[in-house]
A and B are shown apart, each in its own frame.
Chain A
Amino acid sequence: MEFSGVSGMLIMSLSYEEFSSQAREFQEIAESLDDGWRLKGASDGKHYLYKTQYYTPPQVLNPCNADCSREQSVGATDSQVRESHEDGQQTFVWEYNIVYSVSYEVPALYFNVFKLGCAAPLSLDEVWDFCRLFGAPFGMNAEDLWSTVTQQEHPSTGVPNFALHPCNTQRMMQHLLNSLHFEKKNYLITWLSSVGPIVGIRMANAYCPAL
């Protein structure tokens, strides 16, 4: 991790080596919880974390119903998923990827969303609807979406994914560092628990050693 003063602001980056080692520790916790996160090695030799999650909103993309939404983790059985499908409720499959951004020197969240049984991912507009739904309780400004979520190629696989832009990650981590005094070794977990909720990621308390 690098701390250097630019224009009086501290800059907080994470090297790939630090990312990779924290991703391995993350996987160990994930394995003990069996929550679906897996560490993958790409053909370019780079590591990234990956998880598939099923999500069934009670009424498709109705932000008014956000509070009564129910979540099915990757542990949900096929019959549970089928059952909700038969109720006339659409189930969505979320594929999350935590990759390393070379340019921004920080972790970045890439994801795709599919309707269950459908090969084509949702469109940018449909994904934005989800982000508005998930992000509203966290005060996310819908005007910011163009600079927050767009489609990008996965840096290792080249497959188009939606990406939460990493351009402000260093600044955000700086604020968190000042206010929470988190430690360098918890960078990845602190970051994911901050940005994850915008795309429906919830993390078990077991990830946070301080709790």
Chain B
Amino acid sequence: MSEDRDVIEAIWSGSIPACFKLASHECTSLQNPEPFFAMLPRISYLPLLWEKIQRHFAHFVTEESRSSPIWLEYNLVPLRWQYPIGLLFDLLGEKATLPWNITVHFNDFPVKEVLACPSRQVAEAQFLNSIKEADFLKTRKKVMNTMTQGERRQMTAALHSLRTENFWAVNRKLMFTGEPWKHVPLRVFLSENCRQLQKLVGISNAENEPLTLREVLNDWIQEFSDERYEVLLHGVPAPLEAPLQWLGVNMSYADNFLYVVVRPK
């Protein structure tokens, strides 16, 4: 098996128009700041934008708030920055109301809901830990154990600059491991209650045929059916009959996890 370039290119070029506004009660200036507009790459992460957002709004908040870490919120739900932007939008956003209206806060960081992210180094460590976890599921971390610092840096830099080819030059090692994957890194998010499901799942079913996403959802979600639920992966209906390992290679997020969103119709 080799990767499907068209699918990967499409995933890497997906983006969401977003409009960031400062929380009105935190604005101390007489004049409201202009909103900050951005096209958010679905595959990327919110901390990559934080410096720009912070700079844009810093002069409209009190001096003591100015240097505190910002946090983002949509519809009263704080955005958990450790997840890819595309997943957050599929889970919380509404396609019908683009741009995605996100509120920016400098005060009252929700410490019980959102991980602290004082620097880009924290965000990158989080990303690499997630890749390590995915590699453990696939190969018991054999690939990450042989990966150089330079290769790790290449992955985070390529994700930042959205250079698919540079990223895949290293990512190929994580995907084509030379032996069958032990488990597929898969998390299913239920939009009803934002709950996430994770269980160990292999690449074959009991009949030794390639396991499909539909079989997994039938097993994990009570009374799962096409009539009741919509299943999203990168904002499009997930191919439920596709073998799970094919999905893992071609439709995982950059951290090598498949994040599937299940929404009631």
Contact = CB atoms under 8 A, between A and B. Distances in A.
Interface of A: 6-7, 11, 44, 102-105, 119-121, 123-124, 146-147, 150-153, 158-160, 165, 167
Contacts of A159: 112-113
A151 B118 CA distance: 12
B115 interface: yes
A104 B133 contact: yes
B136 A6 contact: no
Given A160-B113, A160-B114, A165 B129 contact: yes
A107 to B, nearest CB: 15
Contact of A167 (B112, B116, B126, B132): B132
Contacts of A119: 111
Interface residues of B, number: 25
Contacts of A7: 142
A150 B118 contact: no
Given A105-B200, A146-B125, A167-B133, A11 B140 contact: yes
Contacts of B122: 124, 150-151
Given A103-B133, A150-B129, A165-B129, A160 B198 contact: no
Nearest to B194: A158
A199 B112 CA distance: 21
Contacts of B133: 103-104, 167
Given A6-B140, A104-B133, A151-B116, A120 B198 contact: no
Contacts of A167: 129, 132-133, 136, 141
Contacts of A124: 116, 118, 122
7 A-B pairs with the lowest CB-CB distances in the bound complex, closest first: A151-B115, A160-B115, A103-B133, A102-B198, A120-B111, A159-B112, A103-B137
Interface string B111-150: 1111110100010011001001100110011100000000
A123 B68 CA distance: 13
B95 to A, nearest CB: 26
B195 interface: yes
Contacts of B141: 167
B47 to A, nearest CB: 13
Contacts of B199: 102
Interface residues of B, dominant DSSP: loop
Interface of B: 80, 82, 111-116, 118, 122, 125-126, 129, 132-133, 136-137, 140-142, 185, 195, 198-200
10 contacts: A7-B142, A44-B195, A103-B185, A104-B136, A119-B111, A120-B111, A121-B111, A146-B125, A153-B80, A160-B111
A160 B125 CA distance: 16
Nearest to B109: A120
Given A6-B142, A153-B82, 18 more contacts: A44-B195, A102-B198, A103-B133, A103-B136, A105-B200, A123-B116, A124-B116, A124-B118, A147-B129, A150-B126, A151-B115, A153-B115, A159-B112, A160-B112, A160-B115, A165-B129, A167-B132, A167-B136
A137 B142 CA distance: 31
Contacts of A6: 140, 142
Nearest to B197: A44
A160 B129 contact: no
A152 B141 CA distance: 19
A3 B126 CA distance: 30
B233 to A, nearest CB: 20
A198 B137 CA distance: 26
A160 B129 CA distance: 16
Given A11-B140, A124-B122, A167-B141, A103 B111 contact: no
A6 B180 CA distance: 13
Contact of A158 (B113, B132, B200): B113
Contacts of B126: 150
Contacts of B142: 6-7
Contacts of B195: 44
Contacts of B137: 103
